[in-house]
Every structure is written in C-alpha cells, then in structure tokens.
Structure 1
Amino acid sequence: MKLSSLKPAEGSVKTRKRVGRGQGSGLGGTSARGHKGAQSRSGYSRKRGFEGGQMPIQRRVPKFGFKNINRVEYKAINLDTLQALADATGLKQINFETLYSHGLVSKSDLVKILSRGSVTSALEVTVKGFSGAAKAAIEAAGGQAIVG
C-alpha cells in the first residue's frame, strides 16, 4: 500500500449534482426545477403542512376531546419494587430521595405507590400518594404509609 494509491471505498463518495451548466449536462435550462410556479423560483420555502393546495390533513381531520390543564401525572411504583429495593439495600425507610438515588424516578416526578406484588418487611414509606390497597398492604406488614 502506498500513499499515492489510497482511494475511498467503492460507492462511499458521490459526485454532487451540478445544475444549470448547459443542456449537455441534462440539468441545464430549468436546472431540474420543472417549469414555472413557486417551486421554480429562488427564495421559495413551503409552509409546514402545505399539501399543494389540497385541504391539509390537520384541517380534514376533526377536532375532538380536550387536554385537562389541571391533570396531575404520577409516576407509579409498585409494592414488589419497594420490597425488591428493601431486600437489596436493607433499608427500612423509603422516601423520594431514596427512589431517586436508586434511579427509579426522575427529579420532577410525583410518586404514587400502587398495590402490585406484596410487602413482607415493615417499611416506612413517604411519598406523594398511595392507592388504598397499597396503603393497607404496607400497614398490614407492620409499616407506615406517610403522604408527604
């Protein structure tokens, strides 16, 4: 191998299209823009959602429903996840900081405990919300469910 014999891999380099360089190139005359119309002019930019004058999809499809601006979105954590965390770390008190430091929630989440699985150890859990069954299960195992 010599420096003078180096070439890029076959098919990796394409030659750019040189438009407006005479009829012999096949891309002269209209420079591959077709005849007349807005798209043939310089400075043309199509509006987002423009469909060539036909009724756009966002106007053909009817509006329905609404978005509740007061909705509170919770991050759901189940009892089996709490038990697994307690088994792995040996913790008896679980709060938002504990869940965040173990990567189960992100900083802006509101946490709600749901009742999938079961709790066998007495845990003191402090988060924003509990389902009724989850709260009952934590307290039945000898723990505390604190909303905070």
Structure 2
Amino acid sequence: MKLNELSPAEGSKKSPKRIGRGPGSGTGKTSGKGHKGYKARSGGGARPGFEGGQMPIQRRLPKVGFTNIFKKEIAVINIRDLLKFESGSVVDVDLLVSSGIVKGKHDGIKLLAQGDINYSLTIKLDRVSNGARTKIEKAGGKIIEVI
C-alpha cells in the first residue's frame, strides 16, 4: 500500500451543508436563520455565559478561596533520602541542594521519619520531626537546629 492509494472509509466523509444556494436546496433565502431577530443578524447571538438578562451563574455564585501571601514553602525530605551520604558526614542545606535532593525555591527544609538509618550523621536543618529525631539519635547521630 502506498500513500497515494489511501482513502477514507466508505461513508466516513460527509460534505458540508451548502446554505444560501436557492429555494430548492432547503436552506436558501434566510439560510437557516429564520426571519429577522437578533440571532439572524451579522455578528448576532448572545455572548458566552449570557442567560437572557437573568443574573448569570458566575455572578450568582460567591467568590471562594484565599491565597496567603506570607505562606512558607517547606521542602520535605525523609531519612531514606539521606542514605546516599557517608557515615559521619554533616548534612546541611547546601549539601542537600548540591546533591540534588532538594530542588527549587524553598523557605526551609523539614526532615521526616520515613526510612531507617543505622549509622551516624550530623543533621543541620531548621525543622526535624520527632520521629526523625528519635531515629537519628538512636543510630548515634546528632541534630543541630539552625534558626
């Protein structure tokens, strides 16, 4: 089969309705627009959302939501993400960003307790969950909170 031999399936293509082509066509004279009126005019027809003068739904419903402009974006990491660091290393913001664990803009980093660790690390972060604190200290590590 070649590209020039391709053709659409039988009955799948339908020619468009030709309006305004005389009385014998069935859509002559007013071309399916009826007689006079707003919708028969050039450019006529209601705009989207217009409900005939009734108060439109987008104005009847209340505005919802609130955006806190002072919201802090906290990056979240877990203990399992720290397993790539060697025993005894100091894990801080710069190390996490340079190693690619934390990406993008953030106002702080929080360490959560998902995962296990069995060697000591020194963690220098501004937020650490109680579960993560327990696991790190149990493994012989140390947590220094940076404010």
Residues 4/123 of structure 1: CA separation in 2 closer, same or farther (3 Å cut): closer
Residues 44/75 of structure 1: CA separation in 2 closer, same or farther (3 Å cut): farther
Structure 2 Cα separation of the partners of residues 147 and 13 of structure 1:
70
8 Å Cα contact 1:23/1:29 also seen in 2: yes
Q: What is the TM-score of this pair, normalised by structure 1?
A: 0.59
8 Å Cα contact 2:120/2:142 also seen in 1: yes
Shift of 1:37: 3.5
Which letter does structure 2 place at the counterpart of 1:38? Answer: Y
Question: Secondary structure of 1:42's partner?
Answer: coil
Question: Secondary structure of 1:95's partner?
Answer: helix
8 Å Cα contact 1:122/1:143 also seen in 2: yes
Shift of 1:95: 0.8
Structure 2 unmatched ranges of 5 or more: none
Question: Secondary structure of 1:28's partner?
Answer: coil
Shift of 1:18: 2.0
Q: CA RMSD in A?
A: 3.8
Give the aligned partner of residue 9 of structure 1.
Answer: 9
Q: Which structure has the bigger radius of gyration?
A: 2
Structure 1 unmatched ranges of 5 or more: none
> Residue 85 of structure 2: which of 88, 91, 116 is its match?
91
Structure 2 Cα separation of the partners of residues 36 and 125 of structure 1:
79
Is structure 2 residue 107 aligned with structure 1 residue 113?
Answer: no
Structure 1 Cα separation of the partners of residues 45 and 85 of structure 2:
60
Q: What is the TM-score of this pair, normalised by structure 2?
A: 0.59
Structure 1 Cα separation of the partners of residues 54 and 69 of structure 2:
34
Give the aligned partner of residue 74 of structure 1.
Answer: 74
Question: Secondary structure of 1:99's partner?
Answer: coil
Structure 1 Cα separation of the partners of residues 108 and 17 of structure 2:
56
Give the aligned partner of residue 36 of structure 2.
Answer: 36
Residues 135/63 of structure 1: CA separation in 2 closer, same or farther (3 Å cut): same
Give the aligned partner of residue 21 of structure 1.
Answer: 21
Residues 109/39 of structure 1: CA separation in 2 closer, same or farther (3 Å cut): farther
Identity in percent: 39
